[in-house]
């Protein structure tokens, strides 16, 4: 039915909107780990525990 208008334009609009939303969600899922990786100072600080010190000494080994 090439050239004919769809009988349900609202359904096409909803489908297009859902596709855009799904693509945006996938994009956020891909970017989230990269954005948060070095953006949490609390997780990067030393906890002062013996295991931290032991691992710090082994870093250059």
pLDDT tens for 3-54 read 555 556 666 788 899 999 999 999 999 988 888 777 777 667 776 677 777 7
The first and second tokens of residue 28, run together, are: 């956020």
Residue 27's alpha-carbon distances to 2, 11, 15, 36, in angstroms, are: 33, 24, 18, 14
Residue 2 has a pLDDT of: 56
Mean predicted lDDT score pLDDT of the chain = 77
Q: pTM of the prediction? A: 0.42
DSSP code for 4? P
- The distance of Cα 10 from the centroid of its chain, to the nearest Å, equals 30
CA–CA gap between residue 30 and residue 5 (Å, rounded)? 37
């Amino acid at each position: 039915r090439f050239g004919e208008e769809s009988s349900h334009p609202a359904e096409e609009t909803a489908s297009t909107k859902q596709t855009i939303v799904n693509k945006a969600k996938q994009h956020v899922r891909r970017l989230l780990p990269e954005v948060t990786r070095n953006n949490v100072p609390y997780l990067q600080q030393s906890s002062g525990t013996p295991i931290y010190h032991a691992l710090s000494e082994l870093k250059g080994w």
